[in-house]
């Protein structure tokens, strides 16, 4: 945990932000629910516990079955949890009291978990607004529905409290939380660098383990062992595949074959639950073919350009578009597309090759705060999300400010089914050279991803040792 003053300060800032949303006496309460254990096969065999990220940000306590109420009118804070009984002590050992847990993070009042509904019912009876974040886990959805008297769908819907009598999750609270979590504090940047170091170590171990004939799974095991031995685990299910054209391929059952491209997209979650997310694409035999190298170099150049353009004052949407233009330029030099670059960018042709966004926020979640709503997290109020393939998947479009922490992850993929669909529906408006493209149907995909902190005067890559990215350096590191 961070020092308790960090949590106290964050909650005070949240209180101030929420004070701007309504006059005193009309603000109501903010209700936070931490995660509970989730049974895997049966109750006593649960998945590894992962606390809710917004809970971690404001309350730090990393254990199940906690809740809190902040009275937005008088600032009073209450932690809800249960003191352990002898039955729990037998199985879990002695545990600190609820009051001492509350004191650990600077909360004055505590009460049993079961009394949460008394406070919620009282607030409802008094007609006070109850602000809460949209839940992800089913338990929290049902718990919030029970506490507020709303349905499961209503508690997941985010809208301003003035709408529909406030019978939904609070857009005001969501926006206040996003405004704070989006800009990383120094103590968080240290954690993100730590997660970065761990992620880079994972990738180095993986690269050294690549060998013709072994199973992809063997590399995954060695790589994940790195973070399991030092951190909490992986920050998302590992992608390690010779079918990189399948963007989120979590199947690792193939043997490493010569002449293929191996996409490794993996990151660590450190013990403070901060994430890293790196992707490298390796030639399985240690050397790129000419055809692979040509495409690889385009992606590599896009990665470098994205980093160069990532700085305060620039909208990340424009970084995505600049990388798309460079990508199309490279593909045009290989005669895979033909035409005016700006017209191709406008027509969204890059989406055929990179049907995902250039990057996303990273923090306590690898796609930070996606649970709070992608558009509210990643788009400024004056930005509208595109419906084009690729650009429409951009999770971070905002104008960058110091403290934003993002991934830059350009990629080129040859997805036969998508190419055939575009061809038959003439989506490409004549820009795509399908005859040449057919020769790439068995190519696979390439993605290259680094994690980047926006600083006062530019940006810096995070993690101490950038993974080899230029093709010569990659080959040398595999020699
Ligand atoms: N690295 C996985 C993703 O960003 O979706
Ligand atoms: Mn990513």
- Give the Å distance between the CA of 322 and the centre of ligand 2: 19
Q: In a mutational test of the pocket of ligand 1, which residue from 265, 276, 408 has the highest number of ligand atoms less than 8 Å from its CB?
A: 265
Contact 452, 310 (CB under 8 A): yes
Q: Does residue 45 sit in the same domain as residue 123?
A: yes
- Give the Å distance between the CA of 57 and the centre of ligand 1: 22
Point out the ligand nearest to the CA of residue 247: 1
Dihedral angle of Cα 228, 234, 235, 238, to the nearest 10 degrees: 170
- For residue 107, report the phi and psi dihedrals to the nearest 5 degrees: -105, 130
* Residues, CB-to-ion distance under 5 Å, ligand 2: 277, 407, 409
Tell me how crowded residue 146 is: count the other CB atoms within 10 A of its CB: 13
Sequence length of the chain is 479
- Give the Å distance between the CA of 13 and the centre of ligand 1: 31
**Cα separation of 474 and 479, whole Å?**
9
Q: Where are the alpha helices (DSSP H) in 261-349?
A: 290-309, 316-333, 341-346
The helix (run of H) or strand (run of E) holding residue 67 is strand 67-71
Contact 176, 447 (CB under 8 A): no
Judging by DSSP bridges, how do beta strands 130-131 and 29-33 pair with one another? parallel
Q: Does residue 292 sit in the same domain as residue 146?
A: no
**Cα separation of 339 and 433, whole Å?**
10
- Give the total number of structural domains in the chain: 2
Last residue of a domain, one of 129, 155, 181: 181
Last residue of a domain, one of 150, 181, 212: 181
Contact 120, 113 (CB under 8 A): no
Kindly provide the residue ranges of all beta strands, DSSP E only, lying in 162-228, ordered along the sequence: 169-170
Q: What is the three-class DSSP state of 322?
A: helix
Where residue 348 sits, what CATH number does that domain have?
3.90.230.10
Which atom of ligand 1 approaches the CA of 265 most closely? 1
Last residue of a domain, one of 154, 181, 208: 181
Point out the ligand nearest to the CA of residue 236: 1
Point out the ligand nearest to the CA of residue 263: 1
Domain region containing 236: 186-478
Q: Does residue 113 sit in the same domain as residue 230?
A: no
Q: Does residue 292 sit in the same domain as residue 415?
A: yes
- Give the Å distance between the CA of 215 and the centre of ligand 2: 24
- Give the Å distance between the CA of 410 and the centre of ligand 1: 11
Q: Does residue 333 sit in the same domain as residue 392?
A: yes
**Cα separation of 56 and 1, whole Å?**
9
Q: Does residue 271 sit in the same domain as residue 335?
A: yes
Q: Does residue 100 sit in the same domain as residue 249?
A: no
Q: Does residue 262 sit in the same domain as residue 219?
A: yes
Point out the ligand nearest to the CA of residue 264: 1
The helix (run of H) or strand (run of E) holding residue 68 is strand 67-71
Which of 217, 289, 251 minimizes the C-alpha distance to 443? 289
Q: What is the three-class DSSP state of 3?
A: coil
Q: What is the three-class DSSP state of 424?
A: helix
Q: Does residue 174 sit in the same domain as residue 296?
A: no
Q: What is the pTM of this model?
A: 0.97
Which atom of ligand 1 approaches the CA of 409 most closely? 4
Q: Does residue 295 sit in the same domain as residue 347?
A: yes
Q: Does residue 463 sit in the same domain as residue 386?
A: yes
**Cα separation of 416 and 431, whole Å?**
17
Per-residue pLDDT of the chain (479 residues; tens, 9 = 90+): 999 999 999 999 999 999 999 999 999 999 999 999 999 999 999 999 999 999 999 999 999 999 999 999 999 999 999 998 999 899 889 999 999 999 999 999 999 999 999 999 999 999 999 999 999 999 999 999 999 999 999 999 999 999 999 999 999 999 999 999 999 999 999 999 999 999 999 999 999 999 999 999 999 999 999 999 999 999 999 999 999 999 988 899 999 999 999 999 999 999 999 999 999 999 999 999 999 999 999 999 999 999 999 999 999 999 999 999 999 999 999 999 999 999 999 999 999 999 999 999 999 999 999 999 999 999 999 999 999 999 999 999 999 999 999 999 999 999 999 999 999 999 999 999 999 999 999 999 999 999 999 999 999 999 999 999 999 999 999 99
Q: Does residue 288 sit in the same domain as residue 194?
A: yes
Where residue 147 sits, what CATH number does that domain have?
3.40.350.10
**Ligand 1 surroundings by CB, under 6 angstroms:** 236, 265, 277, 360
- Give the Å distance between the CA of 278 and the centre of ligand 1: 8
């Amino acid at each position: 945990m961070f020092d308790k003053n960090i949590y106290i300060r964050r909650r005070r800032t949240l209180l101030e932000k929420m004070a701007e949303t309504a006059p005193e006496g009309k603000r109501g309460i903010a209700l936070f629910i931490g995660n509970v254990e989730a049974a895997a096969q049966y109750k006593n065999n649960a998945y590894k516990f992962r606390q809710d990220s917004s809970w971690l940000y404001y309350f730090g306590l990393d254990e199940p079955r906690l809740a809190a109420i902040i009275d937005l009118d008088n600032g009073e804070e209450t932690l809800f949890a249960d003191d352990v009984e002898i039955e729990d002590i037998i199985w879990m050992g002695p545990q600190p009291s609820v009051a001492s847990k509350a004191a650990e993070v600077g909360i004055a009042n505590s009460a049993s978990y079961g009394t949460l509904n008394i406070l919620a019912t009282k607030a409802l009876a008094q007609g006070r607004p109850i602000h809460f974040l949209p839940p992800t886990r089913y338990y929290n959805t049902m718990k919030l529905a029970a506490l507020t008297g709303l349905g499961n769908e209503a508690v997941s819907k985010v809208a301003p409290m003035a709408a529909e009598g406030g019978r939904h999750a609070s857009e005001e609270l969501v926006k206040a939380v996003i405004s704070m979590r989006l800009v990383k504090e120094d103590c968080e940047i240290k954690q993100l660098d730590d997660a970065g170091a761990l992620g880079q170590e994972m990738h180095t171990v993986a690269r050294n383990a690549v060998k013709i004939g072994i199973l992809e799974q063997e590399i995954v095991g060695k790589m994940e062992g790195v973070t399991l031995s030092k951190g909490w685990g992986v920050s998302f299910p590992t992608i390690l595949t010779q079918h990189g054209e399948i963007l989120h391929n979590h199947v690792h059952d193939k043997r490493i074959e010569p002449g293929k491209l191996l996409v490794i997209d993996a990151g660590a979650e450190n013990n403070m639950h901060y994430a890293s997310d790196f992707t490298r694409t390796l030639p399985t035999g240690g050397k790129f073919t000419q055809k692979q190298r040509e495409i690889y170099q385009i992606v590599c150049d896009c990665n470098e350009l994205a980093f160069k353009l990532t700085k305060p004052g620039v909208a990340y949407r424009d970084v995505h578009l600049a990388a798309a233009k460079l990508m199309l330029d490279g593909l045009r030099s290989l005669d895979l597309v033909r035409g005016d670059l700006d017209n191709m960018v406008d027509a969204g042709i890059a989406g055929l090759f990179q049907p995902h966004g250039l990057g996303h926020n990273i923090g306590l979640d690898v796609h930070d705060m996606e649970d709070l709503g992608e558009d509210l997290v990643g788009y400024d109020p004056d930005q509208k999300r595109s419906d084009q393939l690729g650009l429409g998947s951009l999770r971070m479009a905002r104008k960058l400010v110091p403290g934003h922490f993002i991934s830059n992850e350009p990629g080129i993929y040859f997805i036969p089914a998508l190419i055939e669909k575009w061809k038959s529906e003439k989506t490409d408006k004549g820009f795509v050279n399908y005859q040449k493209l057919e020769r790439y149907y068995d190519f696979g995909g390439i993605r290259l991803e680094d994690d980047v902190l926006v600083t006062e005067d530019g940006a810096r890559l995070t993690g101490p040792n950038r993974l080899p990215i230029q093709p010569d350096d990659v080959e040398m590191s595999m020699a």
